[in-house]
Structure 1
């Protein structure tokens, strides 16, 4: 399993790194799906889908429900929590919220 396909969860944001298009294995026709550099939200994660290889996660997205794409075609976007942990920024946000209500 590649580093980019490990640990996927519902709710993750992913950016498509594939620019070759999508193919429906059942109908053998071109299929709709994310375009290169498009950001999508993971709805469900499936593990062990045979057509992707043993242990390779398949990802279903909010934008394409009931379609599953190989995780190797996406990079997970890791949120930056450092700004949210900064006490100065939290205080600033709280003061803006208080002023907005007044």
Structure 2
């Protein structure tokens, strides 16, 4: 089940369940749209993958699969970008489409 992390790993911007600013990679690394577009340029600094909009978990419990029964994470992961380490990953992947990395 998707972890639904509460903040941007780089800038600590709040990314609650209903946020349309939350972006994730395939490993659930979570960043805000601003960091993805303006700093990372769609390259995850942890795995080199691309990003997609994070879905929201339903708040209306019509089924058992909703935020009441499966709360979003409160665990904050804050790892500001290490520009030196990121440069190697960035240079390798920035010109490749995410599905071809």
TM-score when scaled to structure 1?
0.27
Q: Larger strand proportion, structure 1 or 2? A: 1
TM-score (norm 2): 0.27
Higher relative contact order (CA 8 A, sep 6+): 2
Hey, which of these two has a bigger chunk of helix by percent?
Answer: 1
